[in-house]
Amino acid sequence: MTAVQGTAVDIPTEDGVADAYLVHPADGEPRPAVLLYMDAFGLRPQLRSMADRLAGAGYTVLVPNLFYRHGRAPVFELPEFIDPGARPEIFERIGPVMQELTPDLAMRDAGAYLRALADSPAAAAGPVALTGYCLGARIALLTAGTYPDRVAASAGFHGGRLATDTPDSPHLVADSVTAELYFGHADQDPSLPVEQIERLEEALTAAGVRHTCEVYAGAHHGFTQADTASYDAAGDERHWTALLDLLKRTF
């Protein structure tokens, strides 16, 4: 694994300044860029560790604090091991903040994150890849459809509400997507029932999008996150294999 160098960075947006984590191979050579969209628990050591692993595989990785409008990370005080079942008040705090990050705001911010990577000497020229977790999977799909000329590939893991019947559902951007997409769904995930999995698959197929949708048997929402009660080691390693394979095909 390549040695990496990570640092805190600030990204100007139309609504303020988003704090973020940027990590890349320590040799300083420009590398293909990956924009990593956080889960609902936010920018924390677990996500920095995941970004470090990606950087060690040869990529420049940016992890923005999507909730920057509510303060710099950590926006929420979290235990080292997160078990929302034992601590329901965690989601009571996070839920309203998630709801305030509308698709319109998220896509305005996405433009700023993509500009930051385009301007970064650590990032190679050309389109980037995306990977998103939980709410980040939703935002990754929206970004791929909103900025098709900037996104070459996008992955989403244990994403919720990817194909709802609302007018701002992420699957409705399928016709605009030019990137290759990969989704790793958790089959024990109430936020993505079977009908939404089928609706997403149908939309991507109808739009001619290159895509793979896989259901991880026995996996719960959040299965990639080692600091939570939802973690599944086998599912996590499968996610890494799928993500790195997608990036190799892309770059």
The question of whether 19 is a catalytic residue gets the answer no
State the catalytic residue, choosing from 220, 221, 227, 239. 221
Exactly one of 39, 158, 171, 189 is catalytic; name it: 189
Q: Which of 24, 39, 109, 134 is catalytic?
A: 134
32-43: burial string, b at 16+ Cβ within 10 Å, e else? bbbbbbbbbbbb
Residue that is written with structure tokens 């923005």 in the block: 64
Residue 236 to residue 223: CA distance in whole angstroms: 6
CA-CA distance, 251 to 192, in Å (whole number)? Answer: 30
- 213 has catalytic annotation: no
Nearest-angstrom CA–CA distance, 159 and 140: 10
Distances (CA, A) of 62 to 30, 114, 128: 13, 9, 11
CA distance 45 to 192: 27
**Tokens 């973690």, residue?**
231
**Cα torsion 95, 96, 99, 102: sign:** negative
Q: Which residues pair with 216 in a beta bridge?
A: 186
Which residues are part of the catalytic machinery?
A: 134, 189, 221
